[in-house]
Structure 1
Amino acid sequence: MLHLETLLLVHLCVTLLTTALVAASANYADSPPELRWWAAGNVCVSAGVVVTLVETLPPLLTSVAGYGIIAFGLALVLRGLRVYSAATLSWPMIAAIAGVALLVPLYYTLVEPSRGARLVFSGFYFGVLNLWCAAAIARHGGWRVNCIGVTGFVALGCALLLRGMHMWLDTDLSDPTNALLMGVTALVIPLAQICISFGLIVMVMRRYAERLRRLSTLDTLTGTLNRAGLELQGKRVLLRAQRGGRSLAVVMIDVDHFKVINDSHGHLVGDEVLRHLSALLRMELRPHDVLARFGGEEFVLVLDDLDLADALRLAERLRAGIELTVAAMDDVTVRFTASLGVACSDQHGYDLIRLISAGDAALYEAKRAGRNRVTAG
């Protein structure tokens, strides 16, 4: 037979420990906002659980204030889940969620006193709120990462709904069956809380890992790929082209007289020229084309399904567009040109390093020929 008091003590201890775990994870300057909302929500839920479990307190505190605090905490957790999914939960909605958890138990405490009705309400209401949290995670996708949190919220929600349903159908609190059900619920709840806490932390860790991966492959100035990103994405595009028997072109682009721009207007203006150029290149490229900053003022394009003639036409269009554009910063405007070198797999094979080398050689041939031109390698 499950010892209910022991299980309730375990429930309380697990609630406090999981709250401490989430709060500690959120207690640093760079913690994401969703983690701070989850921590605040867990603190409120823990406080509410403590209040509801102290039997010496009057019902106005245990079943009214306690339920209101728990509902407010769950609403904060839900807000954090919405923030994680780039959405939000308004404060009026949060107030409404907490208000319902205050008003209904208040009615069954002062108007029609009924402990059974309060337990039925808490089971249904908190069960629905937990399933709402599960749905908020599920809508975000990423099941391999989010399944732990979803499982915890679903298990907790179903356990609470089952308790509420059973209490609704049979409100005899002295019935041994009710005691058994309460014991099973008290056993499921701490296990679900552990799943929820670890699930939320895993979600944040995965997002941080994705952010670090992006930072390791992106150029922070222009937002284009860096050399590491070029090696990764460029090889993928090359392999797809090779498997499909399609041509692959590489275009090397270098800003003409970039040192003069830096010396004349300063490095901040030079940085703006590079950002302006990368934005211009993005507008001309297809979604699957690869754009990377190769180093300094030099950029590289990896273009699937373009032969040499098509790549030369694209490069000439880019050159003409660059010549006509103006980069502006504060009161300074700068016109600039670029030299471009083009290489194709039809002549150099499916070797990214060899294609880049051939494109780079063609680029410097364009510079030797007078700059602001396109040369094939």
Structure 2
Amino acid sequence: MTLDTPTVAFVTVLVVCLQGGILTALWLIHRDMRGIGFWAGGALLVAVGVMGSFLLSRSLPSATLVVSNVAIVAGLAITWWGIDAFFGRRPGYRLGLVILTITAVGAAYFVGTENSRGRIIFLLGVFALMAGLRIYSLLREVEPGTRFSQFFTSTALGAQAIYYLVLATTVFSLPPVEKPLAQVPFFGWLFLIPMLLSIMVVFGVVLLVNQTIATRLKESARRDVLTEALTRRAMEEVAEDELARSRRHDLPLSLLLLDIDHFKLVNDQYGHAAGDTALRQFAGAVRRCLRREDVFGRLGGEEFCALLPSTAVGGAAQLAERIRQSVANLAVEAGGHRLSMKVSIGVASLGEHGGNWDELVNQADRAMYAAKRAGRNRVIVGEAQPAATGLPG
């Protein structure tokens, strides 16, 4: 049993249209996520191009075939741009437009010279290139929460690229004929391979969206809604990991405990809305002073902490002073009032003699309360003493 060309064309168009419909539905559900609209639009454009290439090119002028071929590549380019947009990167618009221009010129040349064999080989090469670009964008930055879907989708795209290159090589090795694909052994069945792989790609995209949403929900549960700082529990988990890394590589680890001075008066005099505004601006001021690898958390109320990997006590004290000055320079506008803020900071470090998390926390806690007793709005470096328990309440 063999599959004739009309059957192959019909099934191809049907599958591609279904894929476009699935991605469109995905976009309608998750309009707030960047990139999905690119995927939906690109898939629908591919469907239009496939329809023109397989079903309409015989009854319409040859220019229709050129436009249809370009539409397929344009759809693939848009899906490639969508991957970069999804991960928050700037899509490669310029390279995509260059590829589209080359595709248009090449397709027009081969159609004009009635060289079906050359056109097919040329397009298969472009399809393989577009698959490679999408793989690059998918694996450019592998996120822990979406690792499986990124590799799954990339594997399907890689198999597609190999299929296109093998098919192009096969067509090139055959004698020039009017319908070169018809001469490929078992092509009536071999066409099912890219159909299956394209379905796997769509499945991978849906999985990528689901894993991304799950990762974001998990991350949001670890963060304070108001300030976006890590919650107390999440901070403790990160601290244990950093402590283990510090011990393993014999690296210093420092901790800052920060308590906003007289914050209760802000809530009492200006209301909780003003207090929330003050907390958000305070968190922003602290975060701007931290490095990318530093970890910022909210312990509760007006108490915050910052964990500083690979930082000795001297560097931690300097950073704490920069934070104190940054907070002192804040001018918080809330409810028609202009509020100033001050913060007391305790500094502690594991140093070269090691220690445990309880010792680090209690050392910073004592230093922070010493800053309060000394008049507030200052930084004090703590001295190591026997540990008590846990984070300050």
The normalised TM-score by structure 2 is 0.76
Q: Is residue 161 of structure 2 the alignment partner of residue 161 of structure 1? A: no
Letter in 1 for 2:165: L
Find the partner of 1:292 among 294, 297, 305: 297
Distance 1:122 1:312 in 2: 59
Give the CA deviation at 1:282: 4.0
Paired residue secondary structure (1:113):
coil
Q: Does 1:89 align with 2:92?
A: yes
Residue 76 of structure 2 corresponds to which residue in structure 1?
A: 74
Instruction: Tell me if 1:253 matches 2:255.
Output: no
What is the one-letter code of the residue matched to 2:156? G
Question: Tell me, what secondary structure is at the counterpart of 2:29?
Answer: coil
Q: Distance in 2 between matches of 1:312 and 1:118?
A: 65
Show structure 2 runs of 5+ residues with no match. Answer: 386-393
Cα deviation, 1:312-345, whole Å, max 9, x if unaligned, reads 9569736863674333438854333233456677
**What secondary structure does 1:326 align onto?**
coil
- Cα shift at 1:178: 2.0
Larger deviation, residues 246-255 vs 128-137: 246-255
Map 1:12-51 → 2, pairs under 5 A:
12-51=13-52
Q: How does 1:126-137 map to 2 (within 5 A)?
A: 126-137=127-138
1:63 aligns with 2:65: yes
Retained in 2: the 8 A contact 1:221–1:271? yes
Taking a change above 3 Å as real, the CA distance of residues 8 and 140 of structure 1, as seen in their structure-2 partners, is farther
Indicate conservation of the 8 Å contact 2:259/2:304, yes or no.
Answer: yes
1:350 maps onto 2:356 in alignment:
yes
Distance 1:232 1:31 in 2: 31
Q: Which residue of 1 aligns with 2:321?
A: 317
Give the Cα separation in 1 of the matches to 2:25 and 2:242. 43
Q: Which string of whole-angstrom CA distances, capped at 9 and with x for unpartnered residues, describes residues 222-251 of structure 1?
A: 332222321221221233345567776544
Return the alpha-carbon distance in structure 2 between the equivalents of residues 33 and 61 of structure 1: 34
Structure 1 match to 2:177: 172
Q: Which moved more, 1:183-192 or 1:317-326?
A: 317-326
Amino acid at match of 1:74: L
Q: Say whether residues 1:206 and 2:211 are aligned partners.
A: yes
- How far residue 40 of structure 1 moved from its aligned partner, in angstroms, is 0.7
Give the aligned residue type for 2:200.
C
Q: Are the aligned partners of 2:317 and 2:381 in contact in 1 as well (CA < 8 Å)?
A: no
Q: Cα distance, 1:152 vs. partner? A: 2.4
8 Å Cα contact 2:253-2:310 kept in structure 1 = yes
- Amino acid in the other structure paired with 1:3: L
Alignment deviations for residues 132-158 of structure 1 (CA, whole Å, 9 cap, x no partner): 333333434456442222222232233
Q: Distance in 1 between matches of 2:274 and 2:29?
A: 35
Cα displacement string for residues 252-291 of structure 1 (whole angstroms, at most 9, x for unaligned residues): 3211111222344554543443344334444555654432
Amino acid at match of 1:80: G
Cα offset, 1:41, TM superposition: 0.5
Unmatched segments (≥5 aa) in structure 1: none
- In the TM superposition, what is the alpha-carbon distance from 1:16 to its structure 2 partner? 2.7
The correspondence of residues 258-337 of structure 1 with structure 2, limited to 5 A, is 258-282=263-287, 285=290, 288-303=293-308, 313=317, 317=321, 321=325, 324-329=328-333, 333-337=338-342
Counterparts in 2 of 1:283 and 1:97: CA distance versus 1, 3 Å: closer
User: Partners in 1 of 2:138 and 2:329 — Cα distance?
Assistant: 45
- Contact 1:75 1:94 (C-alpha < 8 Å) held by counterparts: yes
Against the structure 1 CA distance between its residues 253 and 31, is the aligned structure 2 distance closer, same or farther, given a 3 Å change threshold?
closer
The number of aligned residues is 373
Deviation for aligned residue 1:361? 6.5
CA gap 1:121/1:59 in 2 versus in 1, 3 angstroms: farther
Deviations 1:10-50 (A, max 9, x none): 43343233222222211125442211101111111112212
